[in-house]
Structure formats: C-alpha cells, structure tokens
Chain A
C-alpha cells in the first residue's frame, strides 16, 4: 500500500458513494447511464469472486464488499425504486460492443488460463471502457448535473492515481503487470476530455454543458 494507491481507492469509494447519495437525495437517476452502472456491476462481480478463494487483507475484503454492495444497490435504485426517472432514451450505447471485445481479448491476452484469471482479466478490460455509455449519454444530452460531474471526476481520478501507484510499485517492489497498466491507461485517456471540461467549467462554478 502506498499513498497513490490509497488515494485512488478513496477516490473510487467517494465516486461510488457520491452517486448513491445523488440518486437518493434527488430521488432521481436522471442523467446517469444504467448501462455504465450495469457494466461496473459485471466488473466487480467478475473480479471480486476471489473473495471466496483468496484473502489479502481486511481492508481489501471490506472494500470489495462495499463496491459490490454499492453497485448492486445502485442498480436496484435505477432499475426498480426510481425506475420512472431513468432516462433510457438517452442511454442508447450498445454495450455488447464493449462486452464481447473485452471477453475475446481476455482469452487472448491473459497471464494464465484458469477460469478465475480469465474472469479477472475480463473485468480489467471491461472496466477500462465501462464509462463509455455514461460519456456518450453526457454528449447526447449535452450537459451533466454538477454532482454527476463530481462523480465522474472522482471515478476518473481513481485510475489515474493507480497509474502513479504502478510507477511507484515498479521502482520500489519491481511489481509490473502490463495488463492492468495498459487497460488503466486506456481508461484514464477516456476521461481526458471530461477532465478538461471539469477543470475549465465545473471548478469555476459553472454547470457542465457542451458547446
């Protein structure tokens, strides 16, 4: 554990809790992509099945359980409790275009051929692109609520901080995993446009709207 990793995890946790808070407080999931949330739930489920097979630390297990619970909770709020507020007309990204390539790639570029390892690899690839339906939705509606922007910023920062963590781990522990690094870089690049808009608009107190 190092400071970059810890900040990354906390940023990730903050993002997930911000989203739940937003939906609960406004009693609405308007502007949130249910498809992105579904993809994240698939990601956590595929990756954290190792809760049953390996133990790393209490911190690790607790965070995994929180991420899993929060993501299923978010789906429950979006597709059941506040379903009438879900803006599905604007959430039209085809997620099979993301799931199928991620699955295929996880059979091609993978460390070892075991079910758990392929599921883990699939989760890494899918996570890298899981935000695309949400970004697509923002671009279709041309705007995002401020709290949604904070959510996206925290979520994007998490993987960027993980990149710093990987650089740090490379120098201090000789730890290197190209699968997570490449996927993490792709994931962070996808947020770049958004980061720019966030810094130039939201931080100056303006609502995020596209030109």
Chain B
C-alpha cells in the first residue's frame, strides 16, 4: 500500500 496514493482517509 502506497500511503501517498491512498489519502482515502479523512
């Protein structure tokens, strides 16, 4: 999982 592309959290 790449957190930079994640950003699905608020």
Whether A180 contacts B7 by the Cβ 8 Å rule is no
Q: Does A162 sit at the interface, judged by CB under 8 A?
A: yes
Whether A176 contacts B7 by the Cβ 8 Å rule is no
Whether A57 contacts B3 by the Cβ 8 Å rule is no
Determine the residue in chain B with the shortest Cβ distance to A5.
B9
Whether B3 contacts A56 by the Cβ 8 Å rule is no
Main secondary structure of the interface of A (DSSP, over half): helix
Question: Restricting to B1-10, which residues have a CB under 8 Å from any CB of A?
Answer: 1, 3-4, 6-10
How far, in angstroms, from A56 to B5 measured CA to CA in the complex? 10
Closest A-B pairs by Cβ, 5 of them: A177-B3, A175-B1, A56-B8, A111-B4, A174-B1
B10 touches which of A63, A117, A175, A176 (Cβ 8 Å): A63
Name 6 extra pairs, CB < 8 A, besides A9-B10, A60-B8, A60-B10. A12-B10, A112-B4, A117-B4, A162-B9, A180-B3, A180-B9
Q: Which residues of A contact B (CB under 8 A)?
A: 5, 9, 12, 50, 54, 56-57, 60, 63-64, 67, 111-112, 117, 120, 162, 165, 169, 173-177, 179-180
Smallest Cβ distance from B2 to chain A, in angstroms?
Answer: 9
How far, in angstroms, from A12 to B10 measured CA to CA in the complex? 10
Instruction: List the B side residues contacting A177 at CB < 8 Å.
Output: 3, 6
Whether A57 contacts B6 by the Cβ 8 Å rule is no
Whether A175 contacts B3 by the Cβ 8 Å rule is yes
B7 touches which of A56, A67, A169 (Cβ 8 Å): A56
How far, in angstroms, from A56 to B1 measured CA to CA in the complex? 15
Instruction: List the A side residues contacting B1 at CB < 8 Å.
Output: 169, 173-176
